[in-house]
Amino acid sequence: MSARYSLTVKSHFDAAHFLYDYPGACCELHGHTWDVEVTVEGTELDELGIVYDFKALKSDLATVLETYDHRNLNDIEPFSTVSPTAENLARIIYEALVQVVDSRVQVAEVAVWESPIARVAYRVA
């Protein structure tokens, strides 16, 4: 088994959405303060003894989340056709982060909290 470092940061954004064909109140427009956690992993430390700078990861996450802040998620691709569930949001954020995070580390997990007691996580095995 090889040792790995895991680094996690958390941010949030406010946005509205509605779920397509949902059999309940969530099919109506409503909002959340979405908390988003991202975890990256790596095996090597740089010359400063850091696997990935917290500041850099916070910036990477902010870059991705600014697309959604104070918006109706249903108006943003791919959510015009893909229901903006917490599950789909976690996957889409994960895929966006893979494009911006330094290649020295891997995006291990993205967790989306749609409330203080409801969390979904997306990771690729």
CA distance 86 to 73: 11
Is 44 noted as a catalytic residue in this protein? no
Question: Which residue in 41, 95, 109, 114 is the catalytic one?
Answer: 114
- For 39, 72, 123, 124, the CA distances from 52, given in Å and listed in that order, are 11, 32, 19, 20
26 as an active site residue: the answer is yes
Catalytic residue from among 30, 66, 70, 87: 70
Cα distance between residue 56 and residue 22, in whole Å: 38
Give first-to-last CA distance, the chain, whole Å: 16
Clarify whether 70 is annotated catalytic. Answer: yes
Q: Which residue has the tokens 């911006």?
A: 100
Please identify which of the residues 26, 41, 95, 109 carries the catalytic annotation.
Answer: 26
Any idea which residues carry the catalytic annotation?
Answer: 26, 70, 114
